Copies of this chain bind each other. A is one copy, B any other.
């Protein structure tokens, strides 16, 4: 997974860039952004530290790449939840993308942090479509679900372009608070009810 997609030169290593990205992703999964240590990634790829600089300008560039891959993972999780919902159930579709987002944050806290705490990347999250990467960004999925809801019910006739951000803000904020906030240790049922309550609040408040 997380194949770069482009060229596959098969030089000395095979595809070091992909190997470093995979190692970085594994580190991110276990320990969040700070755990993405360049030297450790090269170690796991069985390569000297300097080799990384043939593929990434910086430790930040590696972290950036891991972050983009993690954002794609979030989007995939959202789409998976979406798959079970009928196309005309606008209410359900909004709930699904929100749930996908929140559940991913709980299931993969490290990746989630890297996806959205790496500052420069959030700016990309709302951008049209990433170059090669296939799917939509998490923000686009949420925004699209909101569009559907607005069409289905005449929910907010004067819906201004910021409404999707407000919804995202609420969902993202709950995810963060559940991640390392006062609600960290919560049993599954209560947490799931918090998801539902928040999404209801968002839908009602828009």
Interface residue ranges, A against B (CB under 8 Å): 116-117, 119-120, 122-123, 125-127, 139, 160, 162-163, 165-166, 168-177, 180-184, 193-194, 197-198, 200-206
Contacts and interface: CB of A to CB of B under 8 A. Distances in A.
Contacts of A176: 116, 169, 172-173, 176
Given A201-B202, A204-B204, 17 more contacts: A116-B176, A122-B182, A123-B180, A125-B181, A139-B182, A162-B193, A165-B183, A166-B174, A166-B194, A168-B177, A169-B173, A169-B198, A172-B176, A173-B175, A173-B176, A203-B205, A205-B205
Contacts of A198: 166, 169-170
A199 to B, nearest CB: 10
The 10 closest A-B pairs by CB, nearest first: A173-B173, A205-B205, A201-B205, A119-B180, A169-B173, A169-B174, A126-B182, A170-B170, A122-B181, A172-B173
